[in-house]
Structure formats: C-alpha cells, structure tokens
C-alpha cells in the first residue's frame, strides 16, 4: 500500500495522509542554514553544525513520534475549536491533507471547518533563515474569525548540552521581544555573537515566550492552554524553556484569502558591535532589521522561492534521462541526485536516525559522497577534497572523522581505519575526470592541519597508496586496522565489557588481521593512480617536471609502472590467499583464521570483496568474476536486495566485534546494507550482464518499492542505509533513511555503469549496460561546459556493446566523446548490438 505518490512534473513527492508509518522528511537549505522537516511539520533547524548551533529543539526517540517542529494552530474564535493544519501536534482529523516535499522546500496543505491552509517552508538561497508562507482561505459560505498561533521551541544552541545539562541551562535562557519580533539571545551576553529570531508579517494580538505559560504545566503541544483559551500571556522568558509563539487575528469573508509570513532566522553581529546602545545588553538589531523587513514581503518571498526552483532546475539539468523505466527516470532526474546532494551537505550528522550530536564528517563517507555529487557543483567538491586531505596524517592514514565547524580531525575516533586513504584517491581522480582541473594536484595541503607541513595534494595521494604498502600482514594482504569499510568488522578489538567502543578499544597489536576488501580496494585505487600518473608523465597536462619540483614533493614522483606493479602484485596475493574457489574471501582474523570462506560455519560469504574485487577488474577475463557474482546471487540475493553476508552470526564473537553484536538480519550482521548493493551492480556491468545489474538496481530502488509502503516504512523517495535481511523477522523493513553512502553509490551505478555515461580523462565514455528488454534511452549530460544529447538505440535487444557511434551526424570510432568539441550542444547517437567478427 502507498501513502502518497510521485509528482515528477513538479519534482515533488505528495504524501496524502499524515500518519505515515514513520515521519517522512525533507531537508531545507543548501549552504549554511539547514532544516529537517517532516510531513507533519516536525523537525528542527540549525546553522552549519547540528550539534553546536541548533536553533530549535527536537525530541528524538519520543512517543508520540516526531515531537518538536514548526507548529501552527488555528482556532475558530466563535466555537473555540482549534486544530493543527499539519495534523501534528493536535492530531485533530482533517477533511483534506497533503504534504508536498520538493527540492529544498515542503508545502503542507489541509482543510478543516471550511478553512483551507497551505504552508510553504523553505530557505532562500544565500540567507540564514527559513520562511513559512501561510495562506489561509475561507472556503465556507460564512465569514470566519480565526486566531492563528505559531509555535517553536528554542534550543539553547549546543544540542548535547541542551538535552543533558539542566542544572545550567534552566537558568540561562534570555529573550527580547521588540515590535512583534521574538529574539532568542541565550548566551549572547557572553561569548556568542549570534542570536535567533522569529518574526511575523502581521500585527500581533499577543505573544508567548515561556513554554509553561503557553502549554500549561503537565500539558503537551497537542493542547496548549493559550490556544485553548485564545489568549496569549505576553510574558518574557527568563531561564527555563524559551519558546516563540505569535498570535494573529484573521477575519476572512467567505471566499477570501490571506497570506501570513513567518521568518525563523539566525543572525551574527560583529563582535564589537553586538549591543545597541553599546553599553547596554540589548541586541543591536540594525543589521538584522533590513533582512526581516525584506522577507516579510510576499513578493520577496515569492521571488526567493522562484530563485530556489531555478537553482535546482540548473543543478538537476546536468544529467537527465528518459528511459523505459519510470523508477529509473525519477530517481536519476530527481530524487537520487537530490539525496546525493543532501548527503554531501550533511554527511552523516543530522537525519531522523542521526541525532546531529554524534559524529562529524566521515573521511571515507565524504569521499564517497563526492563520487555521486561532483558533476553537480565541482567547486564545492574541490573545497571538500582539500578539507579532507588536510585531515590526512603524514603516514598517509587519516582521521576517520572531522568536525565541520573547525575542520579539525576528531581525536576521539582517531585514525587506523585502513581503507580510509583509498577513498581519497577515488574522489580526487573522479574530480579531475569530471573537471579537468589538474591544478588541484599542485595545491599545497597540510597534514593533520599543521601549518608548515604542506605538500602538493598529489603527494597526499602517493602517501595513500604507500600507507597500505607499509601495512601488509602475514599473507601479504593489507592489515585491517580498526576496521575497513565495514566499521563493524573489528578484528583487533576484543571487546568484552558493555559500553566499550568496538572500534577504538584496540587491544591487539594489529599486525596479523588482514582484509581482502582493502586488497581489492587497493587494486582499484592503485590502478587509478597509475592512470593518473601516466597522464602526468606524458606531460600534456600541466603537471610537468618543473611544476612538480616547484611544489615540493618530498617523495619522488613515482612512475605509473610503480603503481601498475603494486596493483598486480596485490592481485596475485588476492588470488593466492583471498580467493576461496567460488568467491573472494573476506579477511583473516587475529588468529590467522580465514573469514568469508567455505571453511566458516557462519560468515561464509560476504558481499564487499565480491563487489570491490570485480570492480577492480579481478577475474573479469577468466570466469572467476562470474563465479563470484553467481555465488552472490545464489547465497546473498533476496527480493529486497542483497544481504551483507551469510550465514548470519548467531552469537557474539569476541574476535569479530560489532558485526556479531547485531541480531541476525540487521545492519552489518546480514542486513541488506544498501551501500554495498551498487558495487555488485557495477561488477555485473563489468561482465556485461545488464539484466542482472538492473534487476538488483530495481530491488532496492525506493520508488520501485513504493507499493510496499507498510513493509518498507521509510520514505519511498530516498534510499535507506539498511533493509532488514532474510534472517530478521522484519525482512524488507528499511531503516536509517537519507544519510548513507547508498545515495552516491546507486547514483554512480545507474548513471555511470548501467546507463554507462561517465567522465574519463580524455572525454565522456558512453558504454551502456542495460536490460535487454530496453529498446534504448535518451540522456542529456553536461560535461566540461558542453551539453551532450545522447540517444542510445538497442535494435538487437542486447545488454551491452557499442557497434556504432555518430557525433553530430558523422560516424566516429569507438564510444568516447572527445574533449575538443566546440562549445554548445552536441548530438551523440549510439547503437548497441552484437559485434561481427
Ligand atoms: C556506515 C558508515 C560507513 C561504513 C558503513 C559500514 O554507513 O557511515 O562509513 O562504511 O556504515 O559499516
Ligand atoms: C556503528 C554502526 C555502523 C556505523 C558505525 C559508524 O558501528 O552500526 O553502521 O558504520 O557505527 O561509526
């Protein structure tokens, strides 16, 4: 069953009943001010950092679900009846309800008691504020007399402290209310130079800023005393829980409409000009007033909304497809690209499953996010690459996470996740292929953010590879460290007391346990390095000898042959010690025992090495890759996606760590960890098996799962990190939606490998590997400033194999669209078929 439907024309998902299985959310903001908003107006907002600069409060893991948000109440002043136009928090049944989640905005519409409302919420580009445009229409035959109450609860900035340190924070809240604007200025008197404000376009009947006065003690947001009585208390908060509520009176004749605008904003003042007058404790409002005035005008708000639409039109216009499959089209053209962008912005910080107070930006995660995002805003990808590389350590290893506000590596987690550096190689090479910005390799970047330690970015990449070469184990495979991509495979941490960290309580010397996954990843990244260096050697690309010497390499520039050799040595090691006969093994533990092998009773076959090794090219030509992928199909594939391993671990194994802590079927213990599924899709395309690649793509495609709403439960417009595996009682149920590497990797799998359009150093490759049932597809891809209109014909109904390509009407050899095309638009036509001879 469904809870809504897609409106592809408007790029919206339309939710048609408020009681979705879980709150179905959207994100507001794209630069520094962000918000999460659910289909019933739940959620919260923050400036840059969801932990340190949180504007409004949200109660995670609460009952009823989804408490805290951008609430409005309407009250019929004649009858005293009141309700929430977003259903929550009063849950008064509405006659009509609809929520439209769009690109950076959400519109909630409803109707009750003859009053129609529509609230459009979004963050104008370039601003640190959100607008709520509320339109009220009297659809009844008689005049109406309404009270409108707004309500938000301020968070006292540091969300962690706000939720824990009550002995302090019950005493620090401070407000100002001036000309109907509610200013939240907790801690402004001391070290903060920022405040929040909540403004309304109308004259107020009253206001509230004290939670207890507004709700009444022992009452909830579902029945605020002020709303019930229709009388605001007009009191100013001192300590306790500051809130913001405006009370507006609206009289509408039959058929009449009115718009009210609310602004929730964040503002910083210069440190030496915080107060007005200077010797007072009153906020200087001269700098914020013009902003408030501007956005309280509906023409300005409408213009800002139109600008936001244009922004997304431009971004999403960079890669569009029209294929025979509607699910593919809407994910590629709209939702998957959008989710990739959100993931890039948020990393894994703030969702309805990530509280915003946990981890910062992941090194591995952010590098992978970039793979799906780089063609959208390459400038931001560049900045992110340099930030990430600056948290790398001189050893070539990296801090596993860093804080977005300070950009410093996070010491609590530290380093030693031995796969980390290789993702930087993949991100940088993807960036250069997309942009041709070879100059980035010359950019000086420090290690561990230490001034004076800078080397060109290129040397960082050399150190990434060297890091693994310096850490090989007894079989010559890479040592795993704290974990590899699978954070929960902790072979050096024998954790036996509750609460101990599985990743950081390292109590083995780490010189034994090895990862076949990292070995495969190494082959992939060393081959990327070889390709990159080949081009530097050929000297055509601006990083000539003289330039590399200018940039202070402390390493010699290693020849491409070095990287090719390193890759093929590692490949031989995998064949000797990482191949199990029918699939790739997973690891060797601290006792040198194999994992992911026929020898194991549990954890006999894992998905990760099958995906990554075949992506790196292992066994593609000799049948072994096919064997590995057939084993995946036989042992791991389910109708809801491919599980991480089998058989699931039935109990906790001290020597394996967190992976065996989860009950069977969940998370890394044999859940469908969606992030890894696209690796298998890509691997299948390496073998030319487009039917199977696309079948796997469809199994986890959220749009294709829309009908399974009651089982899937999470949003049908974005990927979730996990779907419960076949060992779980809830097989098919999704969890942890939105912030997951699944977004970027599925985007890469479908756009670059199934549709087969991918950036390379020398041009745009068009090499589709599609379902044989397709008669073709069309796509538009902006690449290096040119617009490629790509038409693929598949008259013989094959999966793969380009037999002819035409560019602007002339036949061209091969299937690479070269770089030296004239500016403007080009028509690329491709025919798939069976090659003769
Ligand atoms: C989470 C982490 C990611 C890790 C994965 C598997 O998604 O963010 O870094 O690779 O889990 O453990
Ligand atoms: C936990 C999660 C795992 C995630 C890791 C990140 O172990 O189970 O999915 O990758 O935290 O640190």
Express each pLDDT in 709-736 by its tens digit: 999 999 999 999 999 999 999 999 999 9
Instruction: Show the tokens assigned to 123.
Output: 């963050």
The whole-number pLDDT of residue 405 equals 77
> What's the whole-number average pLDDT of the chain?
96
Q: What share of the chain is helix, strand, coil (3-state, %, to 5)?
A: 30, 25, 45
User: Taking residues 746-763, what's their average pLDDT?
Assistant: 98
Q: 349, 426, 741, 745: which to mutate for ligand 1, most atoms within 8 A of CB? A: 741
Express each pLDDT in 92-111 by its tens digit: 999 999 999 999 999 999 99
Of residues 589 and 413, which shows the higher confidence score?
A: 589
Ligand 2 atom 11 nearest Cα: 487
Instruction: Show the tokens assigned to 263.
Output: 């602004």
CB contact set of 803 (below 8 Å; sequence gap of 6+)? 831, 832, 833, 834, 835
Distance 487 CA to ligand 2 centre (A): 6
pLDDT over 50 (residue 551):
no
Q: Which atom of ligand 1 is nearest to the CA of 487?
A: 12
Q: Which of 199, 227, 186, 203 is nearest to 85 (CA)?
A: 227
The DSSP call for residue 676 is G
Q: Which of 806, 805, 801, 808 is nearest to 822 (CA)?
A: 808
With a 6 Å cutoff on the Cβ, whether 644 touches ligand 2 is no
487 is known as an active-site residue: yes
Active-site entry in 162, 487, 589, 767: 487
User: Using CA atoms, how far apart are residues 751 and 347, in angstroms rounded to an integer?
Assistant: 22
User: Taking residues 12-34, what's their average pLDDT?
Assistant: 97
pTM of the model: 0.96
Q: 346, 361, 365, 723: which to mutate for ligand 1, most atoms within 8 A of CB? A: 365
The whole-number pLDDT of residue 543 equals 53
pLDDT band at residue 359 under the 50/70/90 scheme: confident
Q: Which atom of ligand 1 is nearest to the CA of 668?
A: 12
With a 6 Å cutoff on the Cβ, whether 488 touches ligand 2 is yes
Express each pLDDT in 232-248 by its tens digit: 999 999 999 999 999 99
pLDDT band at residue 410 under the 50/70/90 scheme: confident
pLDDT over 70 (residue 750):
yes
User: Using CA atoms, how far apart are residues 94 and 110, in angstroms rounded to an integer?
Assistant: 7
Instruction: Show the tokens assigned to 537.
Output: 């050697």
Express each pLDDT in 563-607 by its tens digit: 999 999 999 999 999 999 999 999 999 999 999 999 999 999 999
Q: Which atom of ligand 1 is nearest to the CA of 365?
A: 9
* Burial annotation 792-815 (CB, 10 A radius, 16+ → b, else e): bbbeeebbbbbbebebeeeeeeeb
The whole-number pLDDT of residue 413 equals 87
Contact 222, 228 (CB under 8 A): no
The whole-number pLDDT of residue 361 equals 87
User: Taking residues 3-15, what's their average pLDDT?
Assistant: 98
Q: What is the 3-state secondary structure (H, E, C) of 544-584?
A: CHHHHHHCCCCCCCCCHHHHHHHHHHHHHHHHHHHECCCCE
User: How many other C-beta atoms lie within 10 A of the C-beta of residue 386?
Assistant: 18
Torsion on CA atoms 702, 707, 712, 713, rounded to nearest 10: 100
The whole-number pLDDT of residue 549 equals 46
pLDDT band at residue 412 under the 50/70/90 scheme: confident
Least confident of 45-59, 161-175, 180-194, 346-360: 346-360
Q: Which atom of ligand 2 is nearest to the CA of 662?
A: 8
Torsion on CA atoms 795, 798, 802, 803, rounded to nearest 10: -60
Q: What is the 3-state secondary structure (H, E, C) of 318-361?
A: CEEEECCCHHHHHHHHHHHHHHHHHHHHHCCCECCCCECCCCCE
Q: 370, 487, 644, 672: which to mutate for ligand 1, most atoms within 8 A of CB? A: 487
The whole-number pLDDT of residue 555 equals 61
């Amino acid at each position: 069953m469904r809870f809504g439907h897609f409106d592809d024309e408007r790029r919206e998902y339309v939710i048609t009943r408020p009681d979705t299985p879980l709150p179905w959310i959207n994100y507001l903001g794209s630069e520094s001010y962000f918000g999460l908003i659910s289909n019933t107006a739940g959620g919260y907002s923050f400036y840059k950092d969801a932990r340190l600069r949180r504007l409004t409060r949200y109660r995670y893991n609460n009952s009823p679900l989804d408490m805290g948000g951008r609430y409005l109440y309407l009250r019929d002043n004649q009858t005293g009846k009141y309700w929430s136009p977003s259903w929550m928090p009063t849950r008064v049944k509405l006659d009509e309800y609809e929520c439209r989640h769009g690109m950076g905005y959400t519109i909630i519409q409803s109707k009750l008691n003859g009053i129609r409302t529509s609230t459009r919420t979004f963050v104008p580009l370039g601003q640190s504020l959100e607008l709520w445009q509320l339109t009220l229409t009297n659809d009844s035959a008689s005049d109406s007399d309404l009270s409108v109450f707004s309500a938000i609860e301020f968070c006292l900035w540091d969300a962690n402290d706000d939720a824990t340190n009550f002995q302090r924070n019950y005493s620090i809240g401070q407000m100002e209310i001036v000309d109907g604007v509610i200013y939240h200025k907790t801690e402004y008197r001391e070290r903060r130079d920022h405040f929040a404000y909540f403004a309304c376009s109308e004259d107020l009947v009253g206001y509230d800023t004290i939670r207890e006065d507004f709700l009444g003690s022992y009452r909830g947001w579902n029945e605020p005393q002020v709303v019930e009585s229709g009388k605001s208390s007009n009191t100013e908060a001192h300590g306790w829980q500051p809130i913001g509520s405006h009370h507006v009176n609206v009289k509408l004749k039959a058929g009449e409409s009115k718009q009210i605008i609310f602004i929730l904003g964040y503002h910083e003042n210069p440190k030496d000009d915080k107060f007005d007058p200077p010797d007072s404790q009153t906020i200087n409002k001269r700098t914020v007033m013009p902003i408030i005035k501007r956005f309280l005008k509906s023409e300005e708000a409408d213009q800002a909304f139109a600008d936001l639409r244009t922004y997304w039109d431009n971004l999403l216009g960079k890669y569009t497809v029209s294929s025979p499959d509607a699910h593919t089209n809407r994910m590629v053209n709209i939702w998957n690209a959008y989710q990739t962008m959100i993931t890039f912005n948020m990393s894994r910080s703030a969702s309805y499953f990530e509280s915003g107070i946990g981890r910062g930006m992941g090194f591995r995660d952010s590098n992978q996010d970039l793979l799906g995002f780089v063609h959208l805003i390459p400038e931001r990808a560049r900045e992110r690459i340099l930030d990430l590389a600056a948290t790398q350590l001189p050893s070539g290893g990296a801090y596993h996470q860093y804080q977005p506000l300070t950009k410093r590596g996070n010491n609590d987690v530290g380093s030693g996740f031995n796969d980390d550096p290789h993702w930087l190689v993949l991100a940088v090479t993807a960036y250069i292929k997309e942009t041709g910005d070879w100059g980035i390799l010359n950019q000086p970047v420090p290690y561990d953010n230490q001034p004076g330690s800078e080397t060109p970015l290129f040397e960082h990449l050399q150190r990434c590879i060297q890091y693994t070469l310096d850490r090989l184990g007894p079989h010559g495979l890479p040592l795993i460290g704290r974990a590899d991509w699978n954070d929960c495979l902790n072979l050096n941490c024998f954790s036996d007391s509750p609460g101990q960290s599985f990743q950081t309580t390292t109590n083995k010397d780490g010189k034994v346990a090895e990862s076949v996954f990292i070995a495969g990843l190494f082959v992939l990244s060393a081959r990327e390095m070889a390709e990159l260096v080949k081009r530097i050697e050929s000297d055509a690309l601006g990083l000539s000898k003289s330039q590399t010497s200018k940039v202070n390499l402390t390493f010699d520039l290693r020849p491409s042959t070095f990287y090719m050799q390193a890759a093929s040595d590692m490949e031989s090691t995998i064949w000797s010690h990482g191949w199990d006969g029918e699939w790739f093994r997973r690891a060797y533990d601290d006792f040198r025992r194999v994992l992911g092998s026929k020898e194991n009773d549990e954890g006999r076959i894992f998905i990760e090495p099958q995906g990554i090794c075949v992506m790196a090219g292992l066994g593609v030509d000799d049948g072994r890759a096919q064997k590995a992928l057939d084993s995946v199909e036989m042992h791991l594939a389910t109708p809801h996606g491919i599980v991480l391993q089998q058989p699931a671990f039935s109990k906790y194994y001290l020597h394996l760590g967190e992976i065996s802590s989860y009950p069977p079927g969940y998370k890394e213990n044999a859940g469908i960890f969606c992030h890894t599924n696209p690796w298998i899709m890509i691997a299948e395309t390496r073998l030319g098996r487009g039917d199977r690649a696309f079948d796997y793509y469809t199994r986890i495609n959220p749009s294709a799962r829309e009908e399974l709403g009651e089982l899937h439960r999470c949003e049908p417009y974005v990927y979730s990190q996990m779907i419960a595996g076949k060992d779980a009682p809830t097989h098919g149920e999704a969890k942890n939606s939105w912030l997951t590497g699944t977004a970027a990797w599925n985007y890469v799998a479908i756009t670059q490998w199934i549709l087969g359009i991918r950036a390379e150093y020398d041009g745009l490759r068009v090499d589709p590997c599609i379902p044989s049932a397709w008669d073709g597809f069309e796509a538009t891809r902006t690449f290096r400033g040119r617009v490629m209109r790509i038409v693929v014909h598949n008259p013989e109904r094959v999966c793969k194999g380009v037999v002819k390509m035409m560019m602007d009407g002339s036949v061209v050899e091969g299937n690479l669209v070269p770089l030296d095309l004239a500016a403007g638009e080009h028509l690329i036509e491709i025919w798939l078929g069976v090659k003769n001879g």
